[in-house]
Chain A
Amino acid sequence: MTAKKSELKYTLFFLLPSIIILLFLSVYPTLEAIDLSLHNRNLLFPWRNDFVGADNFIRLLSDRRFLNSLKVSFTYSAANVILSISIGVVLALFTHEYLKGKLKSLLSFCYLLPFVIPRVSTGFMWRLMYNPLIGIYNYFLRLIGIGPIDFLGSPNLAFFSVVIVDVWQWCFFIAVLLMASMELIPREPAEAASLDGASRLQVFRYIIFPFLKPSLVLIIYFRFIESLRSFDIIYNMTRGGPGTTLEILDLYAYTIGISTGQEISYAASMSLIMLFITIVVMSMVSKRWFPE
């Protein structure tokens, strides 16, 4: 009895500080955001504090800039997931199947580098290379008679130019993760299948792919949630422009709530929408991460 009591004491002593801090950083802000979203608070007009019910959410539905930002967030993330994961799979297969020894470990080390460098640095790195006047891509394009192309300035190109940067930053790391899973695949089934005359594609489809599927599904979900928060790269490359072609939800909420507008209540209602979307995706993940 006393032993159990002392264990409870230790458990609380060890766990409570973390739980309190994290409650303060997750549950409390969420409650605060809900409270904010039901009022019309504005930091420029601090005396304004009326209960407005669902007005902010109704306003969101007719705010074309918000709907656009939602669309941009999703198309940006979808493009990112599709490109970075398909390229990552190909890279992982190539590196795992065709390379050996030192070359393989050199490549798998280099694959980590784009992922760990600060995204502010990545942004400037690519802005320098994309530059229409002094950028190296335009130099090569000019050599073959094209250009100059304003990769980040033209509305049609800017979206994909930034997506490419994000894909560059992630696809190699995804390849590393997939290679870690591939290491665990037993060699024998694939060898037996090729002896029986299965093509490489069939071996991949029926033997390697089923092994990869669990980690692949997790990577897809996490990559999706992760790319919804590409504020850093987008802000540092184009500030969401040209126009609103790259204005993701985070950027719009930041602009209206913190940087210029100070319409904190309206921004909070946007952030709640984002939270809701993430929770939906997370609840799908939870079944896979902690299977019963």
Chain B
Amino acid sequence: MVSRISLLIRKTIIYVIAVLILIIVLFPIYWLISSSFKTRIEITSIPPTFLFYPTLSNMVEILTREAYIRGLMNSLVVCSCSLVMGIILGVPAAYAIARFDFGHKRDLMFWFLSMRFLPPVAIIIPLYYIWVRLGLYDTYVALIITYSVISLPLTILLMVQYFKAVPIEIEEASQVDGCSRLQTFYKIALPNVLPTLISTGSLIFILLWNEFFIAFALTQHNLTLPVTVAAFATISWEIPWGQVCAAASFLMIPPLVLTAIFRKALISLFLPTEQVKGR
């Protein structure tokens, strides 16, 4: 009897902690999203408004503003171009590392890995100077190429592992059947890694979409969406909270949607593969 009660207490405590954790995780996100559907008076009212009749005026205001639409278009162009560039260049490179026979692979892989941990400031300051001198500062081209420092190494590092996981026998069989190495690559290996390529691409898209510092430093008029949103709210005390919340909420949509679809693959970005493979 006593043990049943203590078990019940234990269970209750565990549930209470779990709910508390959920509140800590979700409340800030909920608060931002819900504030974007409040009127100005509801946002600034004390006590805070928990129940309200949602208004779309902030969202409409944001989505009809030219600067925001421009930022959205810029972000879409820059992120997708850089992603495509990373894939077109990175996937063959990954295949070469996984399958071809040459030396210094380990050093090469480490060099790609080190790119992910290069401090952005170390390349942004000189690259700013380089782009200004080339007359490409504040252009799509500069930003797209600079973003490959994110997309390219990640594509290579991840795809090497996925290419290695393709059974080598089917590739050898195709070569016996007379396929060249190039044909083996795009007829046999590529279709086999396509699902992982899609999840890898989605995750890299999240990283590019969220990126702030590079875009902020390398643009002046062609702002990406995060930089546009940041510019809405200057440090002044008069922040148009409704619109800022709507803009910041809208900005969260792509990463949240892609995460919901590709949650498993997200973990593989950050852990050595041997650990993830077991899952």
A residues in contact (CB < 8 Å) with B: 6-8, 10-11, 13-15, 17-19, 21-22, 24-26, 28-30, 32-33, 36, 41, 43, 91, 94, 98-99, 103, 106-107, 109-114, 116-129, 133-134, 136, 139, 168, 172-173, 176-177, 180-181, 183-184, 215, 218, 222, 225-226, 228-229, 231-232, 235-236, 239, 241, 249-250, 253-254, 257-258, 264, 267-268, 270-272, 274-275, 277-278, 282, 285-286, 289-290
Known: A254-B121, A257-B128. A134 touches B44 (CB 8 A): yes
List B32-53 residues whose CB lies under 8 Å from chain A. 32, 35, 43-48
B residues in contact (CB < 8 Å) with A: 14, 17-18, 21-22, 24-26, 28-29, 31-32, 35, 43-48, 89-90, 92-93, 95-97, 100-102, 106, 109-115, 117-130, 132, 145-146, 148-149, 152-153, 156, 181-182, 185, 206, 209-210, 212-213, 216-217, 226-227, 229-230, 233, 235, 239, 241, 244-245, 248-249, 251-252, 255-256, 258-260, 263, 266-267, 270-272, 275-276, 278-279
Min C-beta distance of A117 to chain B, whole Å = 5
**Bound state CA distance, A32 and B134, in angstroms?**
14
Interfacial chain A residues near B213, Cβ < 8 Å? 229, 231-232, 250, 254
Q: Quick check: A32 and B259 within 8 Å, CB to CB?
A: no
Known: A10-B100, A10-B181, A114-B25. A29 touches B271 (CB 8 A): no
Interfacial chain A residues near B130, Cβ < 8 Å? 28-29, 32
Known: A91-B21, A107-B18, A229-B213. A25 touches B146 (CB 8 A): yes
**CB closest chain-A residue, reference B237:** A133
Q: Quick check: B117 and A278 within 8 Å, CB to CB?
A: yes
Interfacial chain B residues near A225, Cβ < 8 Å? 117, 119
Interfacial chain B residues near A258, Cβ < 8 Å? 124-125, 128, 217
**Bound state CA distance, A231 and B213, in angstroms?**
7
Min C-beta distance of B247 to chain A, whole Å = 8
